[in-house]
Structure 1
């Protein structure tokens, strides 16, 4: 009996590890391509058209659909029967769009190139939140906390290696070949999608076309606005991301002011390495499995403190350590943000909520970079203080939204306490919020 128990205990982790390994085979190359493409597009525009502004337009065309196309991509993913085919084709279209742009820029009209990049960007939500939303169906519930921590490291890894890989390839084989290689990386991820253990959904009447109706496209946004934990973590993390998105601009100013050219990239590398370490630490020892929203709100001040101290110190070694410490706190934050989306999102809207949340974070980061860029004359120290303040504001907003649920949610809770059935159409959401698993 003991031998059989031991064999079962060793077999269980192996059963969990295999789906995780297959998932990483999809996520890592696709996200490397997503992060690296932003650098490769700028370098390609400079090499062929000698225009940094065109590079910015290309990056914007790739990034804007992260939030605009998110409701459509998420709604379709929540409704299609053959998810492997849908996600595989989405990643393949993304990679093909990047590879085609590598050839097209400078050879066809610029307007058509922008449309091509825009079309590729419409598939980008499947690379980020779309893939993450699959974890709950690939793994048992007991493994999800660790899986979300591991998944958050793929974002960190892509953030560190993607731009570096794009720059290295552009310097060695040319920016066009670099963008083409990144497109092939996304196609590699698409080829690994069939290895995921995603059974086809039960055959019902075809609801795919219904996913394009306005009411369906707005369902995820309504859920985020009305579900207290989802609403709290979404807005808190998005406000905090405004400050995080501003850090690349701030570090460039800091490097100039302190005459340390390496700091422009070195501080962000330290931040990203710290984030990866934080995610791995949380994967080994999670702080909670039942209330991930509390960890999100706790981590925001933990990010703010080292950033605020970095604005006050002069030594670059200490500044680098403080950036790494701030990055470390983002690891548990992102891991539990993903866990909160999975825990509180109703199953029919799960992918839509994941893609919308990822799109909002990307938009907030872009807004932070643009806003800080306009305030660059203030100097690096005040701007670092603003980035730290964004974390505190995000935490405060999150606490208020969590502790003051919408009126209809309070009414539904009171009705259940009095034994009546509330007139709401989404009781599953409220049950999941009020009764921990």
Structure 2
């Protein structure tokens, strides 16, 4: 007897044809993000080895990081408009990897200003390594698989955060910092090559061709973030919370010094990153919600704050390590839900721009947190850790305040409210608007 359709088992979102595109995507994301995280350490070590200048190392890292937010609107807008996305993303990752590899040779051989420009150019491609890649998941996978896919994607950031700096330091100690940076550049190039495996069909040609980028196009993503309540809430909440998270490397270094435990500087951050990976995988197995990801973001912020605040009050390093792992665990679902919220509420014509801009804001907030806490280092580790925890509470309160009682309804393709989608589609070529109108009429 045939099994009734109503009693047939529901296929798992990560089985069958979903596995192949997910595996291909990971083949791109993992090496590219390992290179991105490891390069920050390798650049400092290279500057120390060749120029004996820690300040130059800081300038190189800044040159690599600043474009994460400055170039994000341009990179995202281009990615949203190009026809051949595999070619565009592949060339972007290849340029990033080539920039790192070229810097490995150029530092100490070319004028410092030229080296900084080289790193700055690589940094302009960096938004494609973070938010740009994540935005492709909605094109590669069915909607039913996206919540878990975003959780898996968030683990690539955690994995890169754990292994990238460690890999850079290990390679620098064994084969030299220049060779280490070259290997990281080669890893990014390997990710660029794997882009060819992604099933991203070319967008159909438009009636009048692709128009040049106008200022209105470049600010469209920012306008949508400001005007779309759920997007606005998760963007500002996650960015403010990242100020505290970005300060943790400085705080852990102070803790290690105060408690005479040299291992704690790296060990506490490793525990935090490992906890974040565990949280992401937990959320991938059992998502808390599929319809209101912004609630997960706002809930996880205070859940991150509590262990951090407790860690400021205890003295044992073992207990402190466990509390850091607990705080990291809470950031796993937070980041997964943040990615889901961006995809759910972003209008399709602006999706990549919103992903890259959101990632850039988080990177900038983390850098500001590290700089701000570093300037207050004389206060001691415990007060600074309380500040990092307080940032999570402030972020949650800000996120709640930014939400309205009637958030925009969002479909996968449409994103925000009718007004937001119309604004976004006004920026598209005429034929794209005609298609959108025909779809809405159907």
TM value normalised by structure 2: 0.90
Cα distance 1:112–1:4, how it changes in 2: closer, same or farther (>3 A)?
A: farther
2:222 matched residue in structure 1: 221
In the alignment, does 2:43 pair up with 1:41? Answer: yes
Q: 1:277 to 1:426 in 2, by over 3 A?
A: same
Map 1:38-437 onto structure 2 (within 5 A).
38-205=40-207, 208-211=210-213, 213-403=214-404, 425-426=422-423
Cα contact 1:129–1:358 (8 A) shared by 2? yes
Is the Cα–Cα contact under 8 Å of residues 79 and 207 in structure 1 kept in the other structure? no
- Measured after TM superposition, the shift of residue 110 of structure 1 is 0.5
CA distance in 2, matches of 1:11, 1:222: 33
Counterpart CA distance in 2 for 1:114 and 1:422 is 42
Contact 2:13 2:145 (C-alpha < 8 Å) held by counterparts: no
397-406 or 62-71, which moves further after superposition? 397-406
Q: CA deviation at 1:263?
A: 0.3
Query: How far has the Cα of 1:92 moved from its partner?
Result: 0.2
Greater helix fraction, Structure 1 or Structure 2: 1
Give the distance between the partners of 1:196 and 1:27, measured in 2 at CA. 11
List alignment gaps of at least 5 residues for structure 2. 410-417, 427-442
Q: 1:4-49: per-residue Cα shift (whole Å, max 9, x none)?
A: 9999958982200000000000000000000000000000000000
Q: What are structure 1's unaligned runs of at least 5 residues?
A: 411-420, 430-437
Q: Secondary structure at the match of 1:210?
A: coil
**Distance change (3 Å), C-alpha of 1:149 and 1:82:** same
Cα pair 2:44 2:54 within 8 Å, conserved:
yes
Q: Within 1, Cα distance between the matches of 2:246 and 2:14?
A: 40
For residues 42-89 of structure 1, the C-alpha deviation after alignment (integer angstroms, 9 at most, x for no partner) is 000000000000000000000000000000000000000000000000
Distance 1:228 1:175, change over 3 A: same
Cα RMSD of the aligned pairs, angstroms, is: 2.4
With the length of structure 1 as denominator, give the TM-score of the two structures: 0.91
Structure 1 residues 221 and 183 mapped into 2: Cα distance closer, same or farther (>3 Å)?
A: same
Give the stretch that moved more between structures: 6-15 or 115-124: 6-15
Query: Whole-Å Cα distance in 2 between the matches of residues 331 and 98 of structure 1?
Result: 29
Distance of 1:423 and 1:264 partners within structure 2: 45
**CA deviation vs aligned residue, 1:273-295 (integer Å, no higher than 9, x gap):** 00000000000000000000000
Residue 403 of structure 1 aligns to a residue whose secondary structure is coil
Q: 1:285 to 1:423 in 2, by over 3 A?
A: closer
Q: Any idea what SS the aligned residue of 1:197 has?
A: coil
Secondary structure of 1:145's counterpart equals helix
Per the alignment, residue 413 of structure 2 pairs with none
Deviations 1:283-340 (A, max 9, x none): 0000000000000000000000000000001111110000000000000000000000
Query: Is contact 1:306–1:325 with CA below 8 Å preserved after alignment?
Result: yes
The secondary structure found in structure 2 opposite 1:290 is: coil
Aligned to 1:414: none
The answer to whether the 8 A contact 2:347-2:420 is kept is no
Match of 2:431?
Answer: none
Q: Give the SS at the match of 2:212.
A: helix
| 1:47–1:3 CA distance, 2 compared to 1 (3 A) | farther
Deviation at 1:378, TM superposition (A): 0.3
**Displacement over 4 Å in runs of 4+:** 1-12, 205-209, 421-424
Give 1:136 deviation, angstroms. Answer: 0.4
* 8 Å contact kept, 1:76–1:208: no
Decide whether aligned partners of structure 1 residues 160 and 380 sit closer, same or farther in structure 2, where only a CA change above 3 A counts.
same
